[in-house]
A and B are shown apart, each in its own frame.
Chain A
Amino acid sequence: MLSKDQISGIYRQFSPELYRYLYKLTRNTDASEDLLQEVFEKFIAYTAEKEIQADKHRAFLYKTAHNLSINYLIKQNRDHCGDINEMEESLKTEDTCLDRLMLDDLNRALYRVLETLDPESRSIFIMHKEDGMHYDEIAETLSLSARTVRRRIKNVLDILYSELKKDGFLT
């Protein structure tokens, strides 16, 4: 089992990019923090039983984050409880400053379209876009073929192109 210091070190190394990925995917700071914590809890539980080579830590964390966030997004789609969530939102104060992140029109439109896509394609696209992961890297992380990843991203780009053209971002 990894030591507490090692876990802290791995957390400090990977949590910023994982959190950014989770936030871009879920668009919710609370959910991203919950999922991030859950990712590391699964990592602790897994490494207590089996050893993971140091160079595979990132892939393991991403794959877990991908799986957990897909489950979260599917559940969110199923569970429409807008009003109570709005009431819950009123508790928050920290989210208002994060809203400034997405002031850019194009990104807003982009994420609006991304939210309509299936969770898996969305996750793959965000890994590629926000974390700069190449097709091979995503494929290795998610145990897919690079060809599948490339095709998925092409499909997303196809949809984005058409939708953004409707919104006047493309001519």
Chain B
Amino acid sequence: MKGHLTKSILIGYIQNNLNERRSAAVRDHLEACDLCRKNFTVLKNITAPSGGKKIKPRRSVLAGVLDYYDNYTRPAEPAPAPRRPRLRYAAIALGAACACVIIFALHSQLQYENAPLYASRVKGTVRADNGILRKGQVVRPGVLLTTGEDSKLAIMYGKVMKLTAGPHSRISITKSHIDRKSGKIHFEMVIDSGSVFARTGKGWKLQYTLVTPHGKVSSTGSRIAMRVEPSKTRVMVKDGTANIASNKGHSLDTEEGNGYSIPTRE
């Protein structure tokens, strides 16, 4: 074989695509040519496993799978509807229509509309009150979310707001609604411990407040990283500004990119 082996010949040889005569010629050439042998070795390495340190998933994954198994319930088959006298249908339909009208009238009068957050990511075991939080589950105000040692959580409201919590975090959502009049979306969460990252989408009328045992941080759209420790709350603000207020009544507007601490005593 004259010259050097081309790309297609080498790939064909690696994939056992060449006929016997041609394969033998390539083999002979590889024995004689250092350059082609080097290329062949690199190509062989490309298709060989990378090796390196053995990696395996953490135990929390198996715990999560078994937990899912324990809580798995087959979708129930719809029960046959009980037979009722025909005359009742008219009364039920009339009642339902009246109820709809009343609900609609009340609803349109209400100032606030719910903006429910949902769990977009649940890693490991995350508790919602006393139950286990599942991915996709809606998290309404009043629920206490607790992440464990290896667990992590992300809750979000569409593209408007995303809050990620690290291990050992305790978060309760106190407010998540839309003001119908102003169109502003309000979120308020109490972070008792742990680390959280809050991120917001652009172009929304939004106000969110993160309350900690040491004070609170309010923003209309910046990104905030926060770690709540027993003696202080550490806050980092990116993209925009936020207002930090301590329980002692001191407050300041943050500068972008800076880190702040809210201590217990000032």
Interface residues, chain A, with chain B CB atoms under 8 Å away: 4, 7-8, 11-12, 15-16, 19-20, 23-24, 29-30, 32-34, 36-37, 40-41, 44-45, 48-49, 81, 83-84, 87-88, 90-91, 94, 97-98, 100-104, 106-107, 110, 128-132, 150, 153-154, 157-158, 160-162, 164, 169-171
14 additional A-B pairs beyond A33-B61, A101-B53, A162-B7, beta carbons within 8 Å, are A15-B56, A15-B57, A29-B55, A30-B152, A36-B61, A37-B61, A37-B65, A48-B72, A83-B223, A84-B223, A97-B53, A106-B46, A129-B46, A171-B35
- Cβ of B82 < 8 Å from any Cβ of A? no
Compute how far the CA of A29 lies from the CA of B57 in the bound complex, rounded to whole angstroms.
8
B36-44, B104-112, B213-221 - the one binding chain A: B36-44
Sorted nearest first, the 10 A-B pairs with minimum C-beta distance are A101-B52, A40-B65, A91-B166, A84-B199, A19-B57, A37-B64, A157-B11, A41-B68, A107-B50, A161-B7
Q: Which of B45, B53, B61, B238 has the most CB of A within 10 A?
A: B61
Q: Are A130 and B46 in contact (CB under 8 A)?
A: no
CB distance from B89 to the nearest CB of A (A): 35
CB distance from B87 to the nearest CB of A (A): 41
Q: Are B11 and A161 in contact (CB under 8 A)?
A: yes
Q: Chain B residues near A8: list those with CB within 8 A.
A: 62, 66
Q: What's the dominant secondary structure at chain B's contact region?
A: mixed
Q: Chain A residues near B53: list those with CB within 8 A.
A: 97-98, 100-101
21 A-B contact pairs sorted by A residue (CB < 8 Å): A4-B66, A11-B65, A16-B56, A19-B56, A34-B123, A36-B61, A48-B74, A83-B239, A90-B225, A91-B167, A91-B197, A100-B52, A106-B42, A110-B46, A129-B46, A132-B49, A157-B15, A158-B11, A164-B46, A170-B43, A171-B38
Tally of B interface residues using CB under 8 Å: 50
Q: Are A130 and B49 in contact (CB under 8 A)?
A: yes
Among candidates B50, B61, B162, residue contacting A24 with C-beta atoms closer than 8 Å: B50
Q: Chain A residues near B58: list those with CB within 8 A.
A: 33, 94
CB distance from A139 to the nearest CB of B (A): 14
Among candidates A87, A129, A164, residue contacting B47 with C-beta atoms closer than 8 Å: A129
CB distance from B193 to the nearest CB of A (A): 14
CB distance from A89 to the nearest CB of B (A): 10
Q: Are B15 and A150 in contact (CB under 8 A)?
A: yes
Q: Are B42 and A88 in contact (CB under 8 A)?
A: no
Q: Chain A residues near B45: list those with CB within 8 A.
A: 106
Q: Chain B residues near A132: list those with CB within 8 A.
A: 49
- Cβ of B14 < 8 Å from any Cβ of A? yes
Q: Chain A residues near B10: list those with CB within 8 A.
A: 161
Q: Chain B residues near A158: list those with CB within 8 A.
A: 7, 11
CB distance from A46 to the nearest CB of B (A): 11
Q: Chain A residues near B74: list those with CB within 8 A.
A: 48-49
